[in-house]
Structure 1
Amino acid sequence: MSHADDISRRLVAIEGPIGVGKTAFASKLAQHLGASTLLDNTESNPFLSRFYSDPKSLALQTQLFFLFERIRQLEGLQQNDLFTGNTICDFLIDKDQLFAHVVLDEDELKIYQQVFSHLKFKAPTADLVVVLQAPAEVLFERINQRGIEQEQNISLEYLQQLNDAYTQFFHHYQSSPLLMVNASDIDPVNNDDHFFELLEYMKTIHSGRHYYNPNPTL
C-alpha cells in the first residue's frame, strides 16, 4: 500500500488482552501502511498450552519464556529500522509485569522481579500505543469462536483478571501517546469501514490520552 496513508509514526504498539484481536489488527494495519511487523510469538512458547490447562504449576516458566522472547525480538529491531519505516508491534515489554502480577504467586513474583531487575535492556519507546478493550464475556466468546485448541481451557475468571490488570496498568501509563479503543462492537480486521474510521482517529493522536468509543451501525 502507498505510504501516503502513513500515520507518521515510527513505532506503533497495538495492545489488549487475549481474544480482543490485537495481532490481527496489527497485521492489517502494517499491510495497509507498508510497515514491518513485530508480533508476539506465542506459538514458540512450549509451556503455554499446558499453562492454560494448569496455570498454577507452569506460570513462572511461561512468563519467563515470554519475557526473554520479547526482549530477543526487540533487540532484533535495529535502531535504523525505526527511522527508515514504520514498525507495528502487538506487545509492549512494559506491560510484561502486568501478566506476572496476574499469574504468579508471591514467591514466583519475587523471582520474576529479580530476573527482570537484572536484565540490561532498554526497550524502544512507542510513538503511539493503541489499546483494544472488550468485556471478558466478549473475549471469552471470541476465543471460543476462533477455536484454537490450546486456548479452549482459558476461563472467564482469568479473562476478567486480565481485563482488570490492563485497566489498572494503562490507567497509570504515560510513556507514550495513548489511545484506548472500545472494541466490543467493532471489527476493524474484517470490516473495512471500521478499520478506516479507527485509522483516521489514530492519525489525530500526537500526545496525551484519548478514548475511542464508536457506536457503529452494523
Structure 2
Amino acid sequence: MTVTDEEAPGTDTRARATSGIGARGGEVAHRFIVVEGPIGVGKTSLARRLGRSLSAELVLEQAEQNPFLERFYRNPRAGAFPAQLYFLFQRAQQLSALSQQDLFAPVRVADYLLEKDRLFARITLDEAEYQLYEQVYEKLGINAPKPDLVVYLQAPVGVLLERISRRGIDYEQNIDRGYLERLNEAYARFFHEYDDAPLLIVNAASIDPINNEADYEELLAAITRMRRGRLYYNPMRHRSF
C-alpha cells in the first residue's frame, strides 16, 4: 500500500492529475478532499466521480481485501477485532505514504478519514479489545496528511439500508439496523466537534449525485466554492431513485 512508482492498493491511477487543473479547466483550490459518511451513504461512488471531474488521484478503502470483514458481518463479536486491525494497518500504510510525497502531490480525493478508524473501533470492540487496539494505534505513530476539505454525507438509517440492499454486496445484506443507528450517531457526534479542516455537511438523502447530473453539478459547485469553516448543504428536492 505504498504510493511509489508501483502503485499502492487503494490508489486509482486512472483519475490521476498531473497538475492542479480540473476536468473543466479551472484551478483546483483543494489539493486533498476527503468524502466521509456511514456505510451505504455513497461516499466511494462520489469520491470516484469527483476524481474524474478534478483529474485527481483516488485514495480508496479496499474493504474487499479485508479477509475478516465477511466474518464480522456474520458474527460481529468474533470478527470485529481482526477486521478492525486489518483496516488500521491498511489505512496507516496508505496515508503515511501520502504524507511522504506531499511535495509532489497531485490533487487527491479519498473516501475516508483516518479518524473513522477509532470511531468504528469504539462501536465494534469490547473494552479489553479497544484498549489493545489503542496501544497498537499509538505505536504506529501514523503521519496522516491533513485534508483541505471534508465532505460529510448524511442520510437516515432507512436510506442507508435501501442503498445497501440496492448495491447487492452479499455479506452486507444482513447488516444490523441497530449497528447502523449507532454508526450514524457516532458520525454525527464526531463531525459536530470536527474542526481540523473546512467541512461541507451534505444532506444526501434526497439527492443522487452519482446518477443525476443536475444533483452532481450543484454539489460539485458547492464543493468548489467551499473555502473555510462549516457549511450545510441541504437541497430542497425530494425524489425517489
TM-score (norm 1): 0.95
Unaligned runs of 5+ in 1: none
1:180 corresponds to which letter in structure 2?
A: I
Aligned to 1:131: 152
Check conservation: 2:99, 2:144, Cα contact below 8 A: no
Check conservation: 1:134, 1:183, Cα contact below 8 A: yes
Question: Which of 64, 69, 75 does residue 96 from structure 2 map onto?
Answer: 75
Distance 1:108 1:97 in 2: 12
1:75 corresponds to which letter in structure 2?
A: S
Deviations along 1:68-99, one digit per CA (max 9) or x if unpaired, are 00111113325445654210000000221000
Question: Which of 193, 209, 225 does residue 204 from structure 1 map onto?
Answer: 225
Pairing 1:113-192 to 2, within 5 Å after superposition? 113-192=134-213
Distance 2:131 2:79 in 1: 16
* Offset of residue 141 of structure 1: 0.9
2:122 corresponds to which letter in structure 1?
A: H
Distance 1:17 1:217 in 2: 21
Asked whether 1:64 is paired with 2:92, we answer: no
Residues 83 and 200 of structure 1, relative CA distance in 2, 3 Å threshold: farther
Check conservation: 2:60, 2:110, Cα contact below 8 A: yes
Identity %: 48
Does 1 or 2 have the higher relative contact order (CA < 8 Å, sep 6+)? 1
**Count of aligned pairs:** 218
| SS of the residue 1:202 aligns to | helix
2:67 corresponds to which letter in structure 1?
A: P
Aligned to 2:9: none
Distance 1:199 1:178 in 2: 14
Distance 1:41 1:70 in 2: 9
Asked whether 1:50 is paired with 2:61, we answer: no
TM-score (norm 2): 0.86
Residues 112 and 217 of structure 1, relative CA distance in 2, 3 Å threshold: closer
| SS of the residue 1:184 aligns to | coil
* Offset of residue 122 of structure 1: 1.3
